[in-house]
Amino acid sequence: MRFQVLGALIGFKYRIVVQHVDVLLLQEQEISFSPIDDSAPNVITADLAIVDSTKSDLFRFVIQVFDLQGGLSKEMAMLAARDVSIPLLKREHT
């Protein structure tokens, strides 16, 4: 899964949490991110396994971005959250 982080400030540190939400499984990946260049596209890649046990035609992902500045509560540190559902493309095995 790839997505872009918009509005990140150079020199600031962020924690990005990507969760794949499924009926039988919750996968989570944490990514540390700190932009160093204004011209960079800030594309983030999360590697999550696709599980055959999914009971849906959609993959649901929850993405949260947190400020890593010390002293902030989890609620205060959360800068953005996005809940995204992506259609599952089924392949025929030959």
Q: Of the given ranges (31-35, 55-59, 72-76, 77-81), which has the lowest mean pLDDT?
A: 55-59
d(CA 83, CA 11): 27
- Whole-number pLDDT of residue 58: 79
Task: Give tens-digit pLDDT for 72-92.
Answer: 998 999 999 999 888 877 655
Would you call 53 exposed, middle or buried from its count of C-beta atoms within 10 A (0-12, 13-18, 19+)?
A: exposed
- Kindly report the pTM of this predicted structure: 0.75
Per-residue pLDDT, averaged over 54-82, amounts to 87
Better-scored residue on pLDDT, 10 or 2: 10
Query: Is 85 in contact with 60 (CB distance < 8 Å)?
Result: yes
Assign 12 to helix, strand or coil. Answer: coil
Q: How far is CA 47 from the centre of its chain?
A: 10
